[in-house]
Chain A
Amino acid sequence: MIEVSDLTRKFGSQSALDGVSFKVEAGEIFAYLGPNGAGKTTTIRILTGLTRRDKGEALLNGYDIEDDPLRCKGQFGVVPQHTNLDAELTVSENLLIHGRLHHMERSDIVRRTEELLDYIEMSDRKSALVKTLSGGMKRRLLIGRALMHSPTILFLDEPTVGLDPTIRRRIWGLVRKIQQDCTTIFLTTHYIEEAEFLADRVAFLDSGRIVAEGKPAALMAGIGEWAVDYLEESRLQSAYFPSRTEAGTYVHERANGCTVRRVNLEDAFISMTGRKIL
């Protein structure tokens, strides 16, 4: 379980996080959705002890990262936005070092390495140097490494950024599989479909503040069920309607160039902040 209250962090005069509070229940996938620079990575860096907070409280399974860092760090695994694998080590050596850093017994490291390589479907690349792996394989290995010490909380910071759609879907399948083991997952993303597909609950983050929080369906239902996209003064605008019939009537009233589609999380975000996520 993750409990965050009034988390605040400034970089110079710039406020990266401004009184952020939320709670993630055990076994839940919580998506943190917002544009670049909204404060998503800063939140993860504070929760994992990589960046200091100015104010607020953050508890992971009841342990505070600043008051009890060593016990707290044993609770979670992190998949960072930028690959931080050891390029000069092999796949299994990366897992070995992670296991040693988390005080695992040698026999447990050997057993868990076999299990995880099978889990992330990389058993055949066990002895390959990380620098020879593809982007998708590195992502899967990052996830595998984060799970090495069997954490109950997993932080995924933009886990599929830069990956092609096929590999992205494969990673989503892996994340779902991890959740089935009752792992609490904190996911940051700016891919709408990722949050819609994976998240039990979503928080919208904008300029360091949470502007809305809830189940994806509830957030979307708040603005309607159907959207009409149209061009106005060379800008793409959207109008939202509770039914397809009303959306169709609106399309008839306007000139050509309208598109009717289902409302998504980005629509909910735009209607609340006036800004796009991407």
Chain B
Amino acid sequence: MSNIMIIRGWSAVYLREFIILKRRLPKLIPAWSVSPLLYLIAFGYAVGQHVNVGEHSYLEFLLPGLVAMAGMTQAFSIASEINISRFYWHIFDEFQSAPISNLAYVVGEVAAGITRALMASSVILVLGALFGVVLSYNLLFWTALLLNCFVFSSLAVGCAMHVKSHADQTLLTNFIITPMAFLGGTFFPLSQLPQWGQKLLEVLPLTHAAHAVRAAAFNEPARPVDFIVLAGVGALCFLFAILSVNSAKG
């Protein structure tokens, strides 16, 4: 199959998701704002007003963590969209009976997940600015965020191909995403934990994402290991997604 056919295949899948996303945007933007707004008020103002983490206020510490967390949750939410398409609308069948490769399908869905996640993360940056927190949103910041979204969007597509119902999908979110959201360095510095706890949480990709995004936002030197882990885990999840497409067939 020629390269142009692969490109057309993925762009069709992506275009479908993008049109729907665009149509839902007036509802999604307020929805994306609620949780971060509550975190910023509760943890940033109420709890952390007089707390500093290193040289930064707690609000400054919190914002990059929330950005990384939103990137993760919104990228992973493409799994729910895929499963609604699969189980309720049967649109997955339309993709599967079209002459597109599994690679093209996965690229389209992963790109859609990344788009959605980057939009949701940008909403948090705007909210942060409203709270008076403007950090450095440089190239490293966006690279780290993009890699984070790539990891969780790929993982979501792979998982979506294996679940047998929408209820299974909720279980996956509860077991994978929720613990990571709280333990991945979003709300507190991992240095507060005992050594063994820090080692354990270093396994989570969100820990590396939160660290890389925060370091870039603070203009601190980047840890190459964060980027290497995110790229490596992302590549593995992407491969997992491609190999999983056939398992969604009957």
A49 and B96 contact, CB distance less than 8 A? yes
Shortest Cβ gap from A130 to chain B (Å)? 10
Shortest Cβ gap from B102 to chain A (Å)? 10
A101 and B250 contact, CB distance less than 8 A? no
Shortest Cβ gap from A201 to chain B (Å)? 24
Q: Is A144 an interface residue (CB 8 A)?
A: no
B20 and A84 contact, CB distance less than 8 A? no
Give Cα distance in the complex from A93 to B8, angstroms. 16
B9 and A97 contact, CB distance less than 8 A? no
A88 and B99 contact, CB distance less than 8 A? no
Q: Please, what's the 1-or-0 string for B77-100, where 1 marks a CB less than 8 Å from any CB in chain A?
A: 000000000000111011111111
Give Cα distance in the complex from A195 to B126, angstroms. 61
Give Cα distance in the complex from A76 to B98, angstroms. 9
A97 and B12 contact, CB distance less than 8 A? yes
B97 and A50 contact, CB distance less than 8 A? yes
B250 and A45 contact, CB distance less than 8 A? yes
B8 and A100 contact, CB distance less than 8 A? yes
Chain B residues, Cβ within 8 Å of A89: 16, 19-20
Chain B residues, Cβ within 8 Å of A93: 19
B8 and A86 contact, CB distance less than 8 A? no
Q: Is A163 an interface residue (CB 8 A)?
A: no
Q: Is B1 an interface residue (CB 8 A)?
A: yes
Q: Please, what's the 1-or-0 string for A74-87, where 1 marks a CB less than 8 Å from any CB in chain B?
A: 10101010111111
Chain B residues, Cβ within 8 Å of A80: 90, 93
Chain A residues, Cβ within 8 Å of B4: 103
Chain B residues, Cβ within 8 Å of A85: 89
Shortest Cβ gap from B23 to chain A (Å)? 6
Interface size range on B against A: 20 to 34
Give Cα distance in the complex from A182 to B5, angstroms. 27
Q: Please, what's the 1-or-0 string for A15-50, where 1 marks a CB less than 8 Å from any CB in chain B?
A: 000000000000000000000000000000100111
Q: Is A52 an interface residue (CB 8 A)?
A: yes
B249 and A51 contact, CB distance less than 8 A? yes
A70 and B101 contact, CB distance less than 8 A? yes
Chain A residues, Cβ within 8 Å of B148: none
B89 and A86 contact, CB distance less than 8 A? yes
Give Cα distance in the complex from A42 to B95, angstroms. 18
Chain A residues, Cβ within 8 Å of B15: 96-97, 100
* A84-B90 contact in complex given A71-B99, A97-B15, C-beta closer than 8 Å: yes
B94 and A52 contact, CB distance less than 8 A? no
Give Cα distance in the complex from A84 to B4, angstroms. 27
Give Cα distance in the complex from A82 to B85, angstroms. 13
Chain A residues, Cβ within 8 Å of B121: none
Q: Tell me the residues in window 48-107 of chain B with beta carbons closer than 8 Å to chain A beta carbons.
A: 89-91, 93-101
Shortest Cβ gap from B64 to chain A (Å)? 33
20 extra A-B contacts, CB within 8 A, seeds A73-B98, A89-B20: A45-B250, A48-B97, A49-B96, A50-B93, A69-B99, A70-B101, A71-B99, A82-B90, A83-B90, A84-B90, A84-B93, A86-B16, A88-B20, A96-B15, A97-B15, A100-B15, A101-B94, A101-B98, A102-B99, A103-B4
| 25 A-B pairs with C-beta separation under 8 A | A45-B250, A49-B96, A49-B97, A50-B93, A50-B250, A52-B249, A70-B1, A70-B101, A76-B97, A86-B89, A88-B19, A88-B20, A88-B23, A89-B16, A89-B19, A97-B15, A97-B16, A100-B11, A100-B12, A101-B12, A101-B94, A101-B98, A101-B99, A101-B100, A103-B99
| Across the A-B interface, the 7 shortest Cβ-Cβ residue pairs | A100-B12, A101-B98, A84-B90, A73-B99, A51-B250, A101-B12, A70-B99
